[in-house]
Amino acid sequence: MPLSKVIYDRAFAETYDRRYEVNDYSGVEAALLAFIAQSRQTRALEVGCGTGHWLRLIAGRVAHVAGLDASAAMLKQARGRAPEAALVQARAERLPLTDGSVHRLFCVNVLHHIQDKLAFLTEARRVVRPGGQLMSIGLDPHTGSDGWYIYEYFESARETDRRRYASTGQVRAWLQELGFVDVHTREVQHLSATMPMQTAIAEGRLDRRASSQLAMLSDDEYERGMGKIRSVLALAEARGAPLMLSADLRLYGTYASVPA
């Protein structure tokens, strides 16, 4: 499936927030709250706001909060979760905002979905006011330090992620080229888990809509991966031992400021 064709349709949107129920995102939450600094004077924009999970967290903590997403289905969910936020359907590469109109711009697990990342960062540089800041949180599969059962059983997932995710080093280079200052990256969340296969299935972690990594697989690739899992699971059950799945992932926050 082409990278631009991961469609967040109604069914995907309705199950998207399951990830917040089964994973610990406390580090991301803390990073976001620190980023907006709980200033009542702040105008904050989330690009790729999805179902409004993060908008709901910061609503009431800033003077004005807005969310932008390309998916109408995701925005429909966001209207229910974050009714205080101003929502707009648009592409990240063409932000429908005036120059210097926001204090804080952030995106969480979104940059890899944006087809023209440099165009988006250029737009971010335009709309963030002098003295304002940008924060982008996401994986960096280029470090080689992450382990994940999806990478283990679905053969193309890791290489596909390396194509669609820019490394944090590349993102910093783009930001510096665009005139941002104080550009830096830090780890904000370590997602580490080991669980029996049956738990993973019960929690929907292997559902095609559980992650974009699975959603992007062709039907054949997905079925091959599930076939591997079923085979290993059958062997484990024959031995009377549970099949354990593990994840060891890190989310990085990359920060930048517009000169005052």
CATH number at residue 188: 3.40.50.150
Rounded Cα–Cα distance for residues 107 and 50 (Å) = 10
Q: What is the count of structural domains for the chain?
A: 1
Question: Using CA atoms, how far apart are residues 22 and 153, in angstroms rounded to an integer?
Answer: 20
Q: Which residues of the chain have pLDDT under 50?
A: 1-5
Please state, in angstroms and rounded to a whole number, the distance separating the CA atoms of residues 72 and 4: 16
Query: Smallest Cα–Cα separation from 80: which of 17, 31, 28, 11?
Result: 17
Digit-coded pLDDT (tens) for 168-227: 999 999 999 999 999 999 999 999 999 998 888 888 899 888 888 998 899 999 999 999
DSSP state for residue 82 in the 8-state scheme: -
CB burial string 190-206: b at 16+ within 10 A, e below: ebebebebeebeebebb
Q: Is the pTM of this model over 0.85?
A: yes
pLDDT at residue number 128: 97
Q: Domain span at residue 184?
A: 3-257
